[in-house]
Structure 1
Amino acid sequence: MANKIDTKFTLQVKALLNKLYGRSVLKDSLLEQAIEFYEKQPFYQHKLDNLTQQINDLNTQNGDASAKRQLDKLEREYRDIKQEFKFESNDRYKYLYNICKEILSLTEGATFAETIRKSAQMLGTIQLLCPTAGKRVAEVNERSKPLYKSVLTLRLLDQLCIDQVMVANDGHVKSVLGALSGDAFKTMQEHDKDIHETFIENVKIPVIMASLLQDIGHFHPEAQRIVKGADGSLDPHRTLPVEERKALLQINYRETVKFLIDGIGAPIYVGNSKADRDKFNVAEHKKLIFIKHLLKSAIAPKLGVGNLIKVPQIYTSIILSTKDSYNYKLLPKVYQALNQNAERGACSPLVVDTLRKITGDFPQGFGVTFIPKDSDGKNGDHYEYAIVNQLYPKDPKHPLCRAATRGLTFISHGQDIEIVGEISLYNTDTAKKFAALSKDRLNEILEKLASNYQERKQLDLLPRCWHAGEFFGLPNHQKLWNKTG
C-alpha cells in the first residue's frame, strides 16, 4: 500500500512529535533546546562565577573612582548575562507551554466522552505511526514516548480526580478543586468553566510539563557518556549494568530538575501592575514547585502522587519499548509487568488498576485478529482484522475495536466491535480450536489478507495479532475514530 497524504489529525500528531523530540537543522524541538541548554549552561555559569569573584574582590577594596567604574561595568555585565539567560528560558517556557496547550486541544473535547474519544485517537495514531519491526523501532519509539506518556497521564489524572483518590488529595490540586465531588469533576467543563480553566492552568499544564520533561536529563552529556560510551560507539538502547543504571537515574533526575528550574523556570510577567505581577509570580512559583514535586516523588512514588507520572512512564516504556526484547505480540501482557512493579513496591497497585480500567489490556492502535460469527451465531471458518480504537473497555481483556476487514477484504468504514475471548485469536483456547482448520485453508486466508508474498512468508499461519501500520498508511484508513452508522 503506497503512502498517500495523511489526514489533518495525523499530520498534527506528526508535527507535535517533531516539536517534542524531533531532530532538524533548526535545532528548535524541546529535546534540542534541552541539549543546547546543557551545552551552554556550564559556559554561562563559568562566566557568572568569574564575574562574581571579580565583583567580590573589588567590593573588599576601598577603591578609587576607576575601581568604582570597573565595579559598575562588571555588575552591569553580570546583570546582562542573567537577563539574557532569563529571556532564553522564557522563550523555552513559552514553547513548552504552547505544546501543552496543543496537546490539550488535540486530546480534550467539550464533554468527558469526547475527551476519551480524542485521547484514544491520539494514542492509537502514535502507536500506528510507530514501526513494529525492523531497525527503526527503538529510534521512533524513543521519539514518540513523551507525547504518548503525557496523554496517558492526563487521562489518569482525570480518573483519579473522579475517583477522588491520591492526586485529588494532593495539597496543590485540592487548592484548585476545593470540595468538588468526583461526579462534579466529570462534568466540570460543561458546568463550571472557571474552575475548569483554573484546573487546566494550575494542574493539567504542570502535569503535562512534568510528564514531557521526566526523561530529558538523559540527554545531558554526562548521561550520554553512560548511554553511548565515552567514544559514542555503544548501542544507546542496550540493557545497562545495575551500577550504570543507578548513575543514569541520578543524573537524569538532577539534570531534568536543572533544566526545569534554570532552563525553563517561571515565565516573565507582562504588564504594569505591581499587585498583578506579585500575584502572577506567586502562582507561577507554586506551579514550578508542583512540577518539581511530581518529578521528585516519581523516583520512588510508593503510594504517593508521583505515581501519576511514574505508572504511565512504565506502561509507555513497554508499549513503545526501545529494547532489543521488544515484541509486538506481547504488548497486551503489559499489565503483568506493571503488576510485578506494584508488588515490588515500585508503584501503587491502585494507580496500576486505574490505568488498566482506562486502557484495558490491549493498547490503542493494536492489531487484533478475531473469528467473525456467521448468520447462525456460530464461529466462522476464517478470521478478520480489527484495530483497538476505544478506551474504557467493559472488560480489560475484551478490547473495543474498529473492524479493518470484512469477508477477508480490507475496508475503510468498518463497524465498532467488542472482541470477546471466545472470538479473539489472542485467547489461547480460541486459537487452539481454530488451529483445527487445514493448512491449505489457513494459507488461503493469509493470501487474501497479506499484501505480498514476502510478508506472507514471515507471518504466522495462525496470527494472534496483526501489524496494522501499513494499513494505516492510507488516509481513508486513518478515520478509525469517526462515528459509524
Structure 2
Amino acid sequence: MSNKVDTNFTTQVKAILNKLYGRSVLKDSLLEQAIEFYEQQTVQQHKLDKLSQRIKELSHQKDDADAKRQIEKLERNYRDLKQESKLESSDRYNYLYTVCKDILELTEGNNFAETIRKSAQVLGTIQLLCPTEGKRVPEANERNKPFYKAVLTLRLLDQLYIDQVIAVKDGHVKSVIGDITGEDYKLMQEKTPEIYAEFVEKVQIPVMMASLLQDIGHFHPDAQRIVRGEDGTQDPHRTLPVEERKQLLQINYRETIRFLIEGIGAPMYVGNSKADREKFNIAEHKKLVFIKHLLKNAIAPKQGIGNLLKVPQIYASIILSTKPSYNYKLLPKVYQALNKNAEKGACSQVVVDTLRTITGDFPQGFGVTFIPQDSDGRHGEHYEYAIVNQLYPNNPEHPKCRTATRGLTFIGRGQDIEIVDDISLYNTQTAKKFAALSKDRLNEILEKLASNYQERKKLDLLPRCWNAGEYFGMKNHQKLWVKSS
C-alpha cells in the first residue's frame, strides 16, 4: 500500500476539514478564529470601557480647550477600535461564507439525484478519513464532526421540505421560496434557477453557518475550564457530571451567540447606492436573525425547526463520537439512541424518522461484511467486504454498498450491491448460520483479507463489520462513488 496520494475530491474534503476545525501555526481556521476572538474580547472591551470612562470624566470640562482636544482624540480612538473590530468581524464572515460555498460546491449537483450522490461521497469520505481505534479517535472526530453535520443538515432540510413537514412552517424559509410543493422543490434548481439562487443565499448558507457554529462556544475559556478542569489536565473528552454538563451547555449557547453576533455579524455593504445599502442591510439582518433563531430553537426544539440542527447533532455525536465509549461496531445502532431522545422529548420523532430515511442504519463509509451468492442464489462458503456508498436505502436495515473484495482479493472498482439480511453478517441470525464453518476455514479467509499477522490477531474470526480506512488510503480505492461497471 505504497500509493498514499489522494484523489482531487478527497483532497478538497481534507482542505475544508482544515479550514473549519484544523489547527496550524497560521491559526486561521474557523475554530482558531473563534478562540482568538474569545481571547481578545475581554481586552478589547476593557479598552473601550476605559475610553468611555475617560470621555465621561472629561465631558464635565468641555469648555476647557485642552479637555476638548483630549475628548476628540479619545473619541477618534474609540471609533478606530470599533472600526477595527468591525473589519475583523467582516473578515471572519467572508471566511465562513467562502467555506460554506466550498461545501456547496462539493455537495450540490446539477439535479437532486446528483446532489444526493455527491453528499453521500462527502459523508463517506469524512467517515473513512476518521480513525476507528486508538488515541486519535476523539480528536479526529471532534475536528471532522462540524463538516459532517452541516452536510447532513442540508439533506435533512431538503427531505423535510419534500415531505412538507417542519421547514415549510418556518416563516423565513417560506418568505424565500413561497408555497412550492415537495416535487417542485426537487426540481427548483432546474425549473426556477432564480428562486434556487435566493434559496442558496438566504436559506442553505445560513443553515450551514448555524450548523458549523453550533458548538463553537465550547472553546470559550469558561467552557474549557469545565472541559479540561481548572488546572487544564483533565481529559477533555471524558463524561462530565450532570451539573457541569448543564453549565457547559449554557456557556456554549451564550458564547456561540456572542461569536455569531459580535465575532461574525453581518457582512459590510460595498458600493455607493444608499437604496442598495439599505436593501442589503435588511436582507443580511434577516439572515442573521434566522441563524440565531435556529441556534436558539435547537436547544429545546420540540416539534419546531430547531430539529433541523438538533437531530443531525445527536446523529453526528454518535457516528463521530469523541467519548471513550466509542465503538465502531455499534454505529449501525445509532437510531436506537435517536429514538430514545425523541421518546424523552429532546427532539422530534418525525425528524428522526426522516433522517433515517436518508441515511439508513449504516452510516456512509461503514465497512460491511457479507456472504456472496452465486447466480442460483446459493450462499458461498466465505465472506467479502463492502463499503456503504449511497444514501436513501430501500430499507434502512439494508445498506447500499460498493464491494471492496472479490474472491477474497481487494479490488479498486467493485459492484454496487444491496446487502439484505440473509447475506449480511451484521444480522445476528445470518452470522449464527455462517458460524458453522470450521475455525480453520475462517482463519484461512482472514489470512487472505488481513494485511499482516498482527492485524489478524486483533480481528474477529467472524467479523460483523470491517474498518475500511486503510483500504481507502489508496488513491484507486477512493472512487467508491464513480458509476460501477
TM-score interval (norm. to shorter):
over 0.9
Task: Compute the displacement of 1:226 (Å).
Answer: 0.4
1:61 offset after TM fit, Å? 4.0
Is the Cα–Cα contact under 8 Å of residues 62 and 68 in structure 2 kept in the other structure? no
Code of the residue aligned with 1:383 in structure 2: it is: Y
The answer to whether residue 260 in structure 2 is matched with residue 292 in structure 1 is no
Q: Which position in structure 1 is the counterpart of 2:370?
A: 370
Alignment partner of 1:248 is 2:234: no
The 3-state SS of whatever aligns with 2:401 is strand
The one-letter code of the counterpart of 2:133 is A
The residue type equivalent to 1:449 in the other structure is L
Counterpart-to-counterpart distance in 2, 1:335 and 1:133: 22
- Report 1:347-358 matches (<5 A): 347-358=347-358
- Is 1:206 the equivalent of 2:210? no
Return the alpha-carbon distance in structure 2 between the equivalents of residues 63 and 131 of structure 1.
70
Distance (Å, rounded) in 1 between the aligned partners of 2:446 and 2:378? 21
Ranges of 4+ aligned residues in structure 1 off by more than 2 Å = 56-63
Aligned to 2:94: 94
- Residues 237-273 of structure 1, C-alpha deviations (whole Å, 9 max, x = no match): 0000000000000000000000000000000000000
Cα separation, 1, equivalents of 2:440 and 2:182: 56
One-letter code aligned to 1:346: A
Identity of aligned residues (%): 77
**Residues 116-154 of structure 1 deviation map (CA, whole Å, 9 limit, x = unaligned):** 000000000000000001110001000000000000000
C-alpha displacement of 1:56: 2.2
Q: Which residue of 2 aligns with 1:63?
A: 63
Map residues 77-476 of structure 1 onto 2, 5 A cutoff: 77-476=77-476
User: In the alignment, what sits opposite 1:18?
Assistant: 18
| Equivalent AA in structure 1 for residue 30 of structure 2 | L
Equivalence for 1:9: 9
Q: Distance in 2 between matches of 1:336 and 1:18?
A: 32
Question: Which amino acid in 1 is paired with 2:46?
Answer: H
Cα distance, 1:376 vs structure 2: 2.2
Q: Count the aligned residue pairs.
A: 485
Distance 1:474 1:168 in 2: 43
Quote the Cα distance in structure 1 between the aligned partners of 2:143 and 2:76.
Answer: 41
Over the aligned positions, Cα root-mean-square deviation in angstroms equals 0.8
State the shift of 1:375 in Å. Answer: 3.1
Letter in 2 for 1:372: P
Between the aligned partners of 1:38 and 1:79, the Cα distance in structure 2 is: 21
Deviation at residue 58 of structure 1 after TM alignment: 2.7
TM-score when normalising by structure 2: 0.99
State how far apart, in whole Å, the 2-side matches of 1:244 and 1:166 are.
32
One-letter code aligned to 1:445:
I
For the 8 Å contact 1:2–1:473, the answer to whether it is kept is no
Could you tell which deviates more after superposition, 448-457 or 51-60?
A: 51-60
Shift of 1:10: 0.5
What is the deviation of 1:62?
Answer: 4.6
Number of the residue aligned with 2:76: 76
CA contact (8 A) 2:359 2:396 kept: yes
The offset of 1:59, in angstroms, is: 2.8
Question: Where does structure 1 lack aligned partners over 5 or more consecutive residues?
Answer: none
Letter in 1 for 2:5: I
Structure 2: tracts of 5 or more residues without a match: none
Distance 2:2 2:173 in 1: 48
Contact 1:425 1:464 in 2 (8 A): yes
